[in-house]
């Protein structure tokens, strides 16, 4: 057993779990969803029945029945004297996507590989003899790749030297490295809510106390809340996705960028700008950075990768920042890894030179998916709020009842795998929203809309009326 979750933490993570009757099965489904989303890791001890019953305002018998249902479905095991412990997902579990033949997996908002990638890999492999003579352990990254990334920034209006670029094992590795280097336990970190959940997880693991600033598809970033949060909490870091934010698809205006920069400067906050989706414009394919100023201030750090633009299986990312910061990161890096693989870097070097071509192709593919699923959802579920987005990877769809978690659990048994709104929250809530990626083929996305439309009336019918009415008042 590696971890334990308290009754209070589990209650918060469950959010609006009371989405069906009987109550014990709704509670069991809520815990199953947390396990499937990896919000509760395998081998985690659950709270004692009495403690969870008190936290949720339930009878102990209801919690006991929920735990019994979880044991029967193979999600937990109970050992006398040790309590109940979550188990790894089984291969046939709907949350375990491998082996789910015919499933529509919309949990990962990642496009298929760029069609020209295999040819670039073959070119790099043909030159492998020039790579294997190196040690293979390089904490900074291939000089030619760093030069290509720096040149790209410079061409787009942000003068950059190769010494300001550090190559990482993808953007997630960059986020983890920044978190464990710059955050000490108890530091506050400001994030958008909803946000990219793996970033929030990384900062939590580093011991940060998360502070949320709302962002919506209709109104963008809440600047009043942002100003108050910076001034009140003086966060050590702020993590933002200003272009085609995941999951909302919203992009910051110049005013919003100016406010975040100003308030971060006043608070002494380092701004981490995640640009992994910044190249994914659809109406106007572009690959230009939008600086917070003509030249980034020292406290602005950028993260990029080839994961969303080229292929998620190519784990190459980078950090652009001041040389002094990069030296700190390099010194801290061996704790997590010993460098980015040489072959992958050589492949990425060749791809960076072709990113304009790749971005144009991506715009066409993503546009087809977006248009197909937007039209299908609006036709089949007119009561839902389907936003207009100009790029990115997903729709942040507003439901007409706070039953996102219940819907996600229901459609899993129909072969549709999605992530519920609360997965993207840092403070609880968002059960009135559902992230629908448009990175899959249009026909698969239309089938997904069909399944959602078929099952939504049943999910609403099974929801306790009082629970839905009460949750509907929560903003």
pTM confidence score: 0.87
Cross-sheet strand order for the sheet of 76-79: 3-4, 44-45, 83-86, 76-79
CB atoms < 10 A from the CB of 365, how many? 18
List the one residue out of 394, 405, 447, 433 whose CA is nearest residue 109: 394
Question: What is the reported pLDDT for 131?
Answer: 81
Give how far Cα 433 sits from Cα of 167, 224, 347, 399, Å.
35, 23, 38, 6
Query: Domain spans of the chain?
Result: 3-86, 104-109+359-471, 117-353
CA atoms of 320 and 301, how far apart (whole Å): 6
Task: Give residue 34's pLDDT.
Answer: 86
What pLDDT sits at residue 82? 73
> Residue 400: which of 457, 449, 464 has the closest Cα?
457
3-state secondary structure of 181: helix
CATH hierarchy code of domain 3-86: 1.10.10.10
Cβ–Cβ under 8 Å, residues 159 and 151: no
pLDDT at 192: 97
Q: Which of 218, 256, 221 is nearest to 433 (CA)?
A: 218
CATH fold of the domain at 117-353: 3.40.640
Dihedral (CA of 37, 79, 60, 93) sign: positive
Q: Where are the beta strands (DSSP E) in 23-125?
A: 44-45, 76-79, 83-86, 104-105
Provide the residue-wise pLDDT of the chain in tens; the chain has 475 residues. Answer: 468 899 888 887 887 677 667 888 889 888 988 888 778 888 899 999 999 999 999 999 999 999 998 998 889 898 877 789 998 876 445 444 444 567 899 998 888 999 999 999 999 999 888 888 777 788 999 999 999 999 999 998 899 999 999 999 999 999 999 999 999 999 999 999 999 999 999 999 999 999 999 999 999 999 999 999 999 999 999 999 999 999 999 999 999 999 999 999 999 999 999 999 999 999 876 555 565 555 678 899 999 999 999 999 999 999 999 999 999 999 999 998 989 999 999 999 999 999 999 999 999 999 999 999 999 999 999 999 999 999 999 999 999 999 998 899 899 889 999 999 999 998 778 999 999 999 999 999 999 999 999 999 999 998 876 444 444 333 3
Q: Which fold has domain 104-109+359-471?
A: 3.90.1150
Close Cβ partners of 127 (under 8 Å, ≥ 6 residues apart): 346
Buried b / exposed e over 247-257, threshold 16 CB at 10 Å, is bbbbbbeeebb
């Amino acid at each position: 057993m590696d971890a334990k979750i308290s009754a209070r933490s589990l209650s918060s993570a469950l959010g609006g779990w009371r989405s069906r009757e009987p109550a014990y099965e709704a509670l069991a489904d809520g815990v199953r969803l947390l396990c499937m989303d990896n919000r509760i890791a395998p081998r985690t001890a659950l709270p004692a029945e009495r403690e969870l019953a008190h936290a949720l305002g339930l009878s102990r018998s209801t919690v006991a029945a929920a735990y019994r249902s979880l044991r029967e479905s193979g999600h937990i095991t109970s050992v006398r004297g040790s309590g109940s412990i979550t188990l790894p997902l089984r291969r046939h579990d709907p949350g375990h996507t491998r082996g789910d033949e015919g499933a529509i997996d919309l949990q990962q908002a990642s496009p298929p590989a760029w069609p020209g990638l295999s040819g670039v890999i073959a070119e790099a492999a043909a030159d492998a003899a020039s790579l294997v003579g190196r040690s293979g352990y390089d904490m900074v990254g291939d000089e030619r790749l760093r030069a290509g990334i720096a040149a790209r920034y410079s061409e787009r209006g942000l003068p950059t030297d190769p010494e300001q670029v550090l190559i990482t094992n993808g953007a997630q590795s960059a986020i983890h490295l920044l978190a464990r280097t710059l955050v000490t336990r108890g530091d506050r970190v400001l994030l958008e809510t909803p946000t990219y959940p793996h970033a929030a997880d990384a900062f939590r693991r580093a011991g940060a106390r998360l502070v949320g600033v709302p962002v919506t598809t209709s109104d963008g970033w809440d600047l009043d809340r942002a100003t108050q949060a910076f001034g009140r909490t003086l966060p050590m870091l702020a993590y933002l996705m200003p272009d085609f934010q995941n999951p909302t698809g919203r992009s910051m205006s110049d005013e919003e960028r100016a406010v975040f920069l100003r308030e971060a400067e006043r608070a002494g906050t380092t701004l981490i700008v995640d640009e992994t989706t910044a190249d994914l414009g659809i109406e106007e394919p572009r690959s230009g950075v939008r600086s917070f100023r003509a030249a980034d201030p020292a406290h602005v750090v950028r993260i990029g990768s080839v994961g969303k633009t080229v292929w998620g299986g190519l784990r190459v990312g980078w950090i652009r920042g001041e040389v002094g910061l990069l030296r700190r990161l390099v010194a801290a890096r061996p704790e997590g890894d010993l460098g980015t693989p040489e072959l992958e870097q050589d492949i990425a070097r060749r791809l960076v030179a072709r990113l304009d071509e790749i971005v144009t192709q991506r715009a066409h593919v993503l546009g087809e998916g977006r248009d197909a699923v937007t039209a299908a959802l609006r036709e089949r579920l007119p009561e839902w709020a389907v936003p207009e987005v100009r790029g990115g990877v997903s729709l942040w769809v507003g439901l007409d009842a706070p039953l996102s978690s219940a819907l996600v659990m229901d459609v899993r048994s129909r072969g549709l795998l999605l992530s519920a709104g609360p997965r993207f929250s840092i403070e609880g809530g968002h059960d009135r929203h559902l992230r629908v990626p448009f990175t899959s083929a249009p026909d698969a996305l239309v089938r997904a809309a069909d399944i959602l439309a078929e099952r939504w009336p049943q999910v609403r019918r099974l929801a306790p009326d009082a629970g839905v009415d009460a949750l509907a008042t929560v903003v």
